[in-house]
Amino acid sequence: MGFSNQERINMNSKALAAAVIDASAASQWYESRNAFSFVMNGDNVLTEFASIPAASSLSAARSNASSNPAVISDLSQTSSAIRLTAVAGTNNSTWIAYSTYNDASSGALKNWIQPQLIPQASGAVSNGYAIVLYDGDPDGDGTEVTTTDGTTGTGENKTVGWIFQYGTGILLLADDFKGTVSDPYIMGFRYIGNTATTSASTANRVQQDFTADETIAVGELVRLVTSADVGLTAGRVIKAAATTYSTSEVIGVARSSATQGNAVSVVLSGMGSLKFGSAPAASSNGQKVYLSTTSGEATLTAPSGANNAVLLLGRLSGANGSLSTPQCILKIQEPIAP
């Protein structure tokens, strides 16, 4: 005979509420000798999560994502909605977000930003990051499924029709509600910054803080100001561009954003997220990356204008077709004069 329902309830209550574990249904949490803990994959240890600002509204969350694209992936627009795949053997009660619909080998889209993990100053949750569930494509004729849809009962017997696990990207549907949602899509925000696996330390890059002499965004390529730059402060950094030789001498890529006169962290070598004019395709990984004639940006096509300089930055390694600041292996060279 297996565990009774009460035995399972008691065991789970001790583990989740008091962080202890044993199979003694009659013992209390303070009587247990064994601490309970989760085994966590390094991909779920979000080492840059503290850099995500609170968001009381959807517009605030979108603004935060725009300011920090190396950490926050904005999938909140209807055109960016992720179609969920039914998990085999669950009779359509469990669905998961994959990078490619219905392709488990493409990898799960995990680490959605959970509002409760980023409290506002008032203590309220950051609902701007909350996922939105649709039955059917929201960019077509899909219908929004609200958080209260499928709810039954009242008081302590009240229970919801669906639950979304932000950490795993998994949607759970109650048996008496799963027939209502046959083609789920979600919209929201994902954490795409460093994890314990990729390492948020400088072990995989060399970086240093400088003072910005103009507004600089994450992923923009920068150069040092010299005495030849009239009206600017020598030793500070500004955006580089391949329009001329003198403006193309890149020292690194901005790891943080900054306004004029404030500190900006610059990756000098190793792995860095570079800003492109548009998101490179995954099939472009491995290609050479050059400084663009657009200030601060990278490109896969070497500039060819009469006065343009050519500067090889490294190799593309993290493109997926949707991220405009993919990771690159930085091997910054001296520019070639026109």
Tens of pLDDT, residues 117-155: 999 999 999 999 999 999 999 999 999 999 999 999 999
Q: What is the set of domains in the chain, with CATH numbers?
A: 1-37 (no CATH), 42-191 (no CATH), 202-330 (2.40.300)
pLDDT tier at 216, thresholds 50, 70, 90: very high
Integer angstrom CA distances of residue 229 from 224, 247, 260: 10, 9, 15
296: enclosing H helix or E strand = none
pLDDT tier at 189, thresholds 50, 70, 90: very high
* Token digits of residue 311: 């500067």
CA dihedral 298, 271, 72, 38 (to 10 degrees): 160
Burial class (CB in 10 A: 0-12, 13-18, 19+), 158: exposed
Question: Does position 90 have pLDDT exceeding 70, yes or no?
Answer: yes
Average pLDDT over residues 182-204: 79
Question: Does position 200 have pLDDT exceeding 50, yes or no?
Answer: no
Closest CA to 285 of 250, 326, 322: 326
Sole residue written with tokens 């506002």: 120
8: enclosing H helix or E strand = helix 5-13
Task: Please state, in angstroms and rounded to a whole number, the distance separating the CA atoms of residues 222 and 249.
Answer: 8
pTM of the model: 0.63
Task: Please state, in angstroms and rounded to a whole number, the distance separating the CA atoms of residues 284 and 290.
Answer: 13
* Token digits of residue 182: 């046959």
* Token digits of residue 234: 């020598």
13: enclosing H helix or E strand = helix 5-13
AA identity, residue 51: S
Within 10 A of 280 (CB to CB), how many other CB atoms are there?
A: 25
DSSP E strands in the chain: the ranges are: 72-75, 82-83, 85-86, 94-96, 98-100, 103-108, 132-135, 143-145, 162-165, 170-173, 184-191, 205-211, 221-224, 237-239, 250-254, 263-273, 288-291, 298-299, 312-316, 327-330
Burial class (CB in 10 A: 0-12, 13-18, 19+), 97: buried
pLDDT for residue 1: 64
How do 82-83 and 184-191 pair as beta strands? antiparallel
CA dihedral 67, 70, 76, 81 (to 10 degrees): 150
> Residues 279-331: pLDDT tens digits?
999 999 999 999 999 999 999 999 998 889 999 999 998 888 888 899 899 99
Least confident of 23-32, 40-49, 215-224: 40-49
Q: Decide if 239 contacts 279 (C-beta within 8 A).
A: no
* Torsion sign (Cα): 271, 272, 273, 274: negative
SS (H, E, C) 76-115: CCHHHCEECEECCCCCCCEEECEEECCEEEEEECCCECCH
Q: Decide if 336 contacts 311 (C-beta within 8 A).
A: yes
> Residues 57-85: pLDDT tens digits?
999 999 988 888 778 999 999 999 999 99
